Amino acid sequence: MSMPASASFSDYLIFVDESGDHGLARVDPGYPIFVLAFCLFAKSDYVERTGPALQRLKFRFWGHDEQVLHEHEIRKPNKSYCFLFDPAKRAEFMDAINRLVDEAPFQLVAVVIRKLEFAQQYALPANPYGIALEFGLERIYRELSSRGQADKLTHVIVEKRGEKEDAQLELAFRRICDGANALNKQLPFELVMIPKAANSTGLQVADLVARPVGIKVLRPTQPNRAYDIVAKKLRRSSSGETKGWGLKVFP
């Protein structure tokens, strides 16, 4: 949406990343969901705490801070992660990653789309990404409003995925922020799309937390240490409820 020139920037940043793909034509039976994770950081915490913490972790394991953390490559190591084939080193690294996420001061809103049920429920289903984006932005806006930021411009940072996908995302984002949302109001968000190589701390955190939420929804009884840490970050009601607040599963 377009904000007046006098609009001030909010004290927060939102980083958005996904787990799974949003296609409906062929659904992976092993992971038939799409997860969109929204990480809300206070700018002061982001600059003073989370950024330096991630840099220290990278210096410890790579000797430099140019490595981009990617959850998929941690699970299935490539040449940049070859040290993870050593069980002791892997345990040390996973402990450091878990501590990083645990200590990072952010709030999480996660939207999980069950793709098979979604496709069956609607004759002409919308793009799961667009639906997840709408659910997430509505909840983030409510949270920002409760923090006195409703009239300030907040930037929403996402990773570029390709010309066609980026154009579709921008269109969906503008539509939602212009009022096509459950709140029926304009939302003070501005989209920033950056390449993975930008090495954004916030996007790397969002990448780390999305899949643990998806696995928890898919297999709720399976031990899931990563989710146990992530769950502490979920937005909650005054009574501590996360369902519908920090975690939206649809349909």
13: β partners: 41, 155
Q: How would you classify the pairing of strands 153-159 and 189-194?
A: parallel
- Tell me if residue 245 falls in helix, strand or coil: coil
pLDDT of residue 124: 66
Instruction: Enter the pTM of the model.
Output: 0.94
158: β partners: 16, 193
Could you tell me which residues come within 8 angstroms of residue 125 by beta carbon, excluding any fewer than 6 positions away?
Answer: 24, 118, 119
Q: What is the dihedral of CA 168, 13, 5, 145, to 10 degrees?
A: 100
Cα 59–chain centre separation = 24
pLDDT of residue 214: 97
At how many degrees (to 10) do helices 201-218 and 87-103 cross?
100
pLDDT of residue 27: 85
Per-residue pLDDT tens, the chain, 251 aa: give them.
455 544 699 999 999 999 998 878 788 889 999 999 999 999 999 999 999 999 999 999 999 999 999 999 999 998 899 999 999 999 999 999 999 999 999 999 999 999 989 888 876 667 889 999 999 999 999 999 999 999 999 999 999 989 998 999 999 999 999 999 999 999 999 999 999 889 999 999 999 999 999 999 999 999 999 999 999 999 999 999 999 999 999 99
* Homologous superfamily assigned to 9-250: Ribonuclease H-like superfamily/Ribonuclease H (3.30.420.10)
pLDDT of residue 123: 67
